Amino acid sequence: MILSFLIGALICLLSGSLTLLTLLASVKDANAEFVLLMSLIAFGFGAATIRVTAAPLLAWLAALGWG
């Protein structure tokens, strides 16, 4: 569960960085639009992974006495 949460966070971090860098480069061609589309889809996938794994992870940490 921890690994899934961390992988989701890493996917969000990396795809968000790719989106930001593509927007900063401001290239207006089909390749840049494809990169933006794929990176936003990846960000959504990472966010969904975090959302699914956050509640069980927090419950597990609370059971350990961390929360």
For 6-57, the pLDDT digits (tens) are 999 999 999 999 999 999 987 788 889 999 999 999 999 999 999 999 999 9
Contact 47, 8 (CB under 8 A): yes
Instruction: Give per-residue pLDDT as tens, 44-53.
Output: 999 999 999 9
Residue 9 has which token pair?
Answer: 């966070």
Give the SS3 label for residue 66: coil
Alpha-carbon distance values, 36 to 19, 46, 56 (Å): 6, 15, 31
- List the domain range (segments joined by +) for residue 12: 1-64
Number of domain units in the chain: 1
Single-letter residue type at 7: I
